[in-house]
Amino acid sequence: MIKERMEEALNRQLNAELYSSYLYLSMSAYFDSINLKGFANWMNVQAQEELMHAMKFYNFILERGGKITLSAIEAPPREWDSPSSTFEIVYKHEQKVTALIHDLVDLSISEKDHATNNFLQWFVTEQVEEEASADGVVQRLKLAGNSSGGLFMLDRELGQRVFTPPAASKEK
Ligand code: FEO
């Protein structure tokens, strides 16, 4: 049985993952509206990944005999300035999520909750990848500068990203 403090914190993270999905879906719509379909695809896949993260928290809370609390999801912004500033925001957002995950790990240690600590390790590793992939695009956009050729090449590449559902991957 999970302790109340841990249960509350995991429910807050469930909400944060749902917000991340909202945020990236809003960015996907922005890229779609400026005809960068590859960027829109990348964001759409990212939004699906965040939903998968949320479901991992949801399933874990239930598995531990905890209660699910679904609270209101904050509305993300509707307008974005440019592809590069949007990806800067993604990178900063992922750094914030990493800090949230690390806080949860700290709490699991202070609560001596080894099962939750073990569960969170997947997210610790995942956040390294999340930050690296966002920063990767930030850097590529810097290289592309104002060249529309560079931007369209990157758009083509980001259009190839596909979502791998958890059942088809090794992760639950
Ligand atoms: Fe769920 Fe992008 O971290």
Position 63 pLDDT exceeds 70: yes
Q: Is the pLDDT of residue 77 over 90?
A: yes
pLDDT in tens, 21-34: 999 999 999 999 99
Burial label for 126, CB within 10 Å (0-12, 13-18, 19+), is middle
Closest CA to 9 of 101, 95, 75, 135: 101
pLDDT over 90, % of the chain: 92
Whether 11 is in a domain gets the answer yes
Angle at 65 between CA 169 and CA 6, to 5 degrees: 85
Domain CATH number, residue 119: 1.20.1260.10
Tens digit of pLDDT for each residue in 45-56? 999 999 999 999
In this prediction, residue 159 carries a pLDDT of 98
What's the average model confidence in pLDDT over 145-169? Answer: 88
Tokens 């999905």, residue located: 21
Note whether residue 73 is domain-resident: yes
Residue at 168 is within a domain: no
For residue 13, the enclosing domain spans: 4-158
Task: Assess whether pLDDT exceeds 60 at residue 171.
Answer: no
Q: Over 60: is that where the pLDDT of 114 sits?
A: yes
Average pLDDT, the chain: 95
**168 pLDDT more than 90:** no
User: What is 111-142 written as a DSSP string?
Assistant: TT-HHHHHHHHHHHHHHHHHHHHHHHHHHHHH
Is 99 among the domain residues? yes
The domain tally of the chain equals: 1
User: Ligand 1 centre and the CA of 91: distance in Å?
Assistant: 11
Crossing angle, helix 148-158 and helix 37-63, to 10 degrees? 40
Residues 6 or more apart in contact with residue 37 via CB below 8 angstroms: 31, 155, 159
147 CA to centre of ligand 1 in angstroms: 30
pLDDT score recorded for residue 1: 87
Mean pLDDT computed over 123-149: 95
CA 97 to ligand 1 centroid distance, Å: 6
* Residues 114-126, mean pLDDT to the nearest whole number: 98
Is 97's C-beta closer than 6 angstroms to any atom of ligand 1? yes
Question: How would you class 161 by CB atoms within 10 Å of its CB: exposed for 0-12, middle for 13-18, buried for 19 or more?
Answer: middle
